[in-house]
Structures are given as structure tokens and as C-alpha cells.
Amino acid sequence: MLLNDYMNENFPSLILKPPLFYNCAIGIRFELGVDWDSEYNYEDSLYIQEVYKRAVTLFESLHLQGEEILIVVDVNDIGDGKSYKHKGRIFSPFIHDKSILYKLKHTEMPYIFPEDDEDGKYKTHRFTLECKISDLKYISLLKAICNQDLGIQPSIFHRIYFLNIKRKTIFHVYDDRGCDLLATSTESIRDIYHAYNDWILKYDKNEIDKLFK
């Protein structure tokens, strides 16, 4: 499935960029990291292990092994002379069978944050891959996303979205602090809302609770 078709069919008024939760009618914002302190920035710390646990648990609760997903990776090109032609290689360490990378699609588009691009010189390179959950080394990938601001390797600084074709959801871990889960209906994610209610970000919990009542 093409990304544009998926978005037009399921999220026609949504632009795929953060903060997703505040731009979609149906969604949950979960807290991953709790009570952060700079001295916790090592992989075996209780803080980091809880971040990993929550990210992986939520991902596995939402995605079944045989389900088809679209993975979307946005790479910023801020005119610093770097070539992004082969940035799709970001997928390679996190894919079991590298042959599926032939399906990787690339689109160059205007910078996704135009407010930060007064001269209109920046670009966003969007890479999209359709695959099955079972094709992914998703635990390693999620950990790398969570590591981006913690000085822990491996880490990924690009924005990565997981779009579940069957369940019609979007899952986005923005960093170790939290993640957004969007859906086309409350019923499709009600089970996750109940199962992990204690992980919902307190700042937004009242609004989220109203959605599911």
C-alpha cells in the first residue's frame, strides 16, 4: 500500500509530523520515561530499562507478527552538504531479510517544519517500507529510537512512524520521554487504553479518558 493512499483513507486531515497526538481526534499519549535524571543515562539503569520495556510492550500489543505495516522514516536535509541518497540504509540493521529493501520508496519533499526554514532551502527525505512485523528486528529498532537523546548507542535521530495497515493505527516513539498512538476509532485501541492506562501521560489523561467513556 502507498503511504498517500493509507493517509488519505484513514487520516485524511493529518500531516505526518509531530506532535501527532495534538493533531488527531483519536489518540493516546503514553509516558515511557519516568523521573529522568542525567545520571540514569546508561543502558542498564532502571530508568532506561523501563523506557525499553514500555516501548516494546506497547508495540507488541498493537502489532501482531504476521501483520503488514508501513514504516516511514523522515530524514532532515538542512543543506549541510551531506548526501541523503542512501539514507535508506538506516533500515538495514533492523531487517532480518535484506532482500525486502528493494521495496523501499524514497520521496524528497519540502522541509516538514517550514517555520524553521525561512529561506526555503531545507528538504525532508521520506523513506517508506512496506513489510511484516516478523521482518523487523523491532526491539533493537525501538531501543535505538529511545536512545537518541541519551548518548547511548546505537541511536536513531530520524523520526520513525509505524503504520498498521489492518488496524489503521499510527505508532510513533518520539524519544525516551514518550510515544503517540493514533487510531481511526476508539474501539480499535480500547484494549490498549485499558491495559496500559497507568502509562498514559498525566498531562493529557483527562482528555484521553473522555474519549473512551
H-helix or E-strand spanning residue 34? none
**Rounded mean pLDDT of 113-118?**
78
Domain boundaries, the chain: 3-211
What pLDDT does residue 151 have? Answer: 86
**Rounded mean pLDDT of 189-197?**
98
| pLDDT at residue 149 tops 90 | no
pTM, 2 dp: 0.93
pLDDT tens per residue, range 7-39:
999 999 999 999 999 999 999 999 999 886 666
**Rounded mean pLDDT of 141-149?**
95
What pLDDT does residue 116 have? Answer: 77
pLDDT tens per residue, range 118-133:
777 888 999 999 999 9
Phi and psi at residue 169, to the nearest 5°: -130, 165
What pLDDT does residue 87 have? Answer: 56
Mean pLDDT of the chain: 91
Q: Which of 76-80, 106-110, 207-211 has the highest mean pLDDT?
A: 207-211
What pLDDT does residue 163 have? Answer: 98
What pLDDT does residue 206 have? Answer: 97
| pLDDT at residue 164 tops 70 | yes
pLDDT tens per residue, range 62-100:
999 899 999 999 988 866 555 555 555 788 899 999 999
**Rounded mean pLDDT of 137-160?**
93
**Residue 198 contacts by C-beta under 8 Å, 6 or more apart in sequence?**
none
What pLDDT does residue 103 have? Answer: 92
In a 13 Å sphere around the CA of 44, the CA atoms on its Cβ side amount to: 0
What pLDDT does residue 83 have? Answer: 53
- 5-29 burial, b at 16+ Cβ within 10 Å, e below that, comes to ebbeebbeeeebebebbebbebbbb
| pLDDT at residue 44 tops 90 | no
Euclidean distance between CA atoms 146 and 149, whole angstroms: 8
Top pLDDT among 44 and 212 is at 212
